[in-house]
């Protein structure tokens, strides 16, 4: 059985949760390798809607070991809340979940710094999720972060005191923002001790043992390639690598352990937060295009973590081609095709134009990307419903033509097609 890395290849929110949910029953292990509670996936558990930010969505499946790898940053209270919701629905979460001893903790000062920095940026803000992701990764890279294993260290108290003094100095003197209290930090650490330490494990070791025993593994990415700290629209990105390569460093496995890279993308494009978006048609700040509004409304485009309305636009093949290259994507999973139903025509951005020059790749400078205008190919739409279609032969000819063109322009075969929100609303195209 193949080991698969499943990643988003646009600006996040591509529908990874559904694809992971669909593949999870075929897997023995599902592991998260980067990001933190900035991600969000809505599950219906026991009739109640629950948003999981950190616990892998494979948790609902018996016999699937769910792992949170060292490359992630975790908020102890968020994991505890998710565990409570799962326990209340009868999911034996403690049996199925393990958390890397090397995971870095997001503590209250990280959220305070995230908020203070965004406020100070004013109009130039990134539009972060406010979950403290950037400051936690900063501390990790600066070698002063607090990891799960550090809860057992003798010098923890002194390190917390030093970090808190330093952060409060910054908050008070530079940002003129409220300070963080030691009591708040201690409360978060107490939750970590009580709820996370019992689940602590050497995740790399577990993965290698399972691999040797022949397990099938799914490595679940968060956000998307265009939010990658190196290959995304820097600085309007998240603070981790989101490409498939991040699975290696974020879990402690080698490249030979990966057989396939599934790149998940919508049949159109969305983005939350600020930053360039060449095919943008519609946003909450007044950009109004009827097709963009159709995508926002029919696609229910609101962020699972923040509830913010998403910006919407046409499918950008330059973006997807870039992601296919930098992340070594071997197959596409195209989601939300049904949202395009009823549009008289559908556009595909195949290149950009800037200062009279045609570009077929993503420029490294976000300002240069902002100045790019999309070059579109226009394809006829379809009036038939594709909602819930599972047999590719039942797709309208124009929808099939769009998929064929996506494969051609992006240089990657479509392996899965999602036609609705339910797990069963899927067409599979085996290789
Ligand atoms: P941060 O990850 O909270 O620092 O936010 C940085 C940027 O990434 C912002 O534009 C966020 O909106 C975006 N972002 C972070 N996580 C997600 C996600 O799971 N889906 C979509 N966008 C995200």
Catalytic residue among 21, 28, 41, 211: 41
Do residues 335 and 22 make contact, with C-beta atoms less than 8 angstroms apart?
no
The mean pLDDT of the chain is 96
- Please state the three-class secondary structure of 226-256 as a single string: HHCCCCCCCCCCCCCCCCCCHHHHHHCCCHH
* Cα separation, 139 vs 73, whole angstroms: 11
Residues above pLDDT 90, as percent of the chain: 91
CATH (one of 3.90.170.10, 3.40.1190.10, 1.10.3720.10, 3.50.50.60) for 266-327+334-410: 3.90.170.10
Tell me: the pLDDT tens digits for 116-143?
A: 999 999 999 999 999 999 999 999 999 9
**Residue 182, CB-side half-sphere exposure with 13 Å CA sphere:** 9
* DSSP code, position 427: E
pLDDT value at 83 more than 90: yes
235 cis-preceded (ω within 30 degrees of 0): yes
* Cα separation, 236 vs 311, whole angstroms: 14
Ligand 1 atom index nearest CA of 240:
2
CA dihedral of 400, 402, 407, 413, whole degrees rounded to 10: -30
pLDDT at 45: 67
Ligand 1 atom index nearest CA of 275:
10
pLDDT at 215: 97
E strand intervals along 304-391: 311-313, 315-316, 331-335, 345-354, 357-359, 373-380
**Residue 305 CA to ligand 1 centre (angstroms):** 9
Tell me: the pLDDT tens digits for 307-346?
A: 788 999 999 999 999 999 999 999 999 999 999 999 999 9
- Domain spans in the chain, listed from the N-terminal domain onward: 4-100+199-262, 104-195, 266-327+334-410
Fold of 4-100+199-262: Adenylosuccinate Synthetase; Chain A, domain 1 (3.40.440)
Question: Which pLDDT band holds residue 210 (cuts at 50, 70, 90)?
Answer: very high
pLDDT at 160: 98
Query: Does the beta carbon of 392 lie inside 6 Å of ligand 1?
Result: no
pLDDT at 46: 67
Fold of 104-195: Adenylosuccinate Synthetase, subunit A; domain 2 (1.10.300)
**Residue 296 CA to ligand 1 centre (angstroms):** 18
pLDDT at 257: 97
Query: Does the beta carbon of 223 lie inside 6 Å of ligand 1?
Result: yes
- Strands 4-8, 260-266: pairing is parallel
- Token pair 């710094």 is found at 113
pLDDT value at 157 more than 80: yes
Mean pLDDT for 68-78 is 98
300 backbone φψ class: left, alpha, beta (φ>0; ψ -120 to 50):
left
**Residue 1 CA to ligand 1 centre (angstroms):** 32
pLDDT at 304: 73
pLDDT value at 393 more than 90: yes
Query: Does the beta carbon of 54 lie inside 6 Å of ligand 1?
Result: no
Query: Does the beta carbon of 97 lie inside 6 Å of ligand 1?
Result: no
Query: Does the beta carbon of 273 lie inside 6 Å of ligand 1?
Result: yes
Tokens of 128: 């972060």
Ligand 1 atom index nearest CA of 128:
5
Annotation marks residue 208 as catalytic:
no
């Amino acid at each position: 059985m193949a080991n698969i890395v499943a990643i988003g290849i646009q600006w996040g929110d591509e529908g990874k949760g559904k694809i992971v949910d669909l593949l999870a029953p075929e897997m023995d292990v599902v592991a998260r390798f980067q990001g933190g509670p900035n991600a969000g996936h809505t599950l219906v558990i026991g009739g109640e809607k629950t948003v999981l930010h950190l616990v892998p969505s494979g948790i609902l499946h018996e016999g699937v070991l769910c792992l949170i790898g060292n490359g992630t940053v975790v908020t102890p209270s968020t994991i505890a809340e998710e565990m409570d919701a799962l326990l209340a629905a009868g999911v034996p979460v403690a049996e199925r979940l393990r958390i890397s001893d090397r995971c870095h903790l997001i503590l209250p000062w990280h959220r305070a710094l995230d908020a203070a920095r965004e406020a100070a940026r004013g109009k130039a803000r990134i539009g972060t999720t406010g979950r403290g992701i950037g400051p936690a990764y900063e501390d990790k890279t600066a070698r002063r972060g607090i990891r799960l294993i550090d809860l057992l260290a003798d010098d923890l108290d002194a390190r917390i005191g030093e970090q808190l003094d330093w952060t409060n100095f910054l908050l008070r003197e530079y940002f003129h923002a409220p300070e963080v209290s030691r009591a708040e930090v201690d409360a978060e650490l107490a939750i970590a001790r009580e709820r996370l330490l019992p689940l602590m494990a050497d995740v790399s070791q577990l993965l290698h043992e399972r691999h040797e025993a022949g397990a099938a593994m799914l490595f679940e990415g968060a956000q998307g390639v265009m939010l990658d700290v190196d290959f995304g629209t820097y600085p309007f990105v998240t603070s981790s690598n989101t490409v498939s390569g991040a699975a290696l460093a974020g879990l402690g496995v080698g490249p030979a352990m990966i057989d396939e890279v599934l790149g998940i993308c919508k049949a159109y494009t969305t983005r939350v937060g600020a930053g360039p978006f060449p095919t943008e048609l519609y946003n909450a700040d007044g950009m109004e295009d009827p097709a963009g509004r159709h995508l926002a409304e029919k696609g229910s485009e609101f962020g699972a973590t923040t509830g913010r309305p998403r910006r919407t636009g046409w499918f950008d093949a330059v973006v997807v081609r870039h992601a296919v290259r930098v992340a070594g994507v071997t197959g596409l999973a195209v989601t939300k095709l049904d949202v395009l139903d009823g549009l008289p025509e559908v556009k595909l951005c195949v290149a950009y134009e800037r200062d009279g020059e045609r570009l077929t790749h993503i420029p490294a400078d976000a300002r240069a990307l902002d100045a790019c205008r999309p070059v579109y190919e226009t394809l006829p739409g379809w009036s038939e419903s594709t909602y819930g279609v599972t047999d590719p032969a039942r797709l309208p000819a124009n929808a099939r033509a769009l998929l064929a063109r996506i494969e051609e322009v992006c240089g990657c075969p479509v392996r899965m097609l999602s036609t609705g929100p339910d797990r069963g609303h899927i067409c599979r195209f085996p290789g």
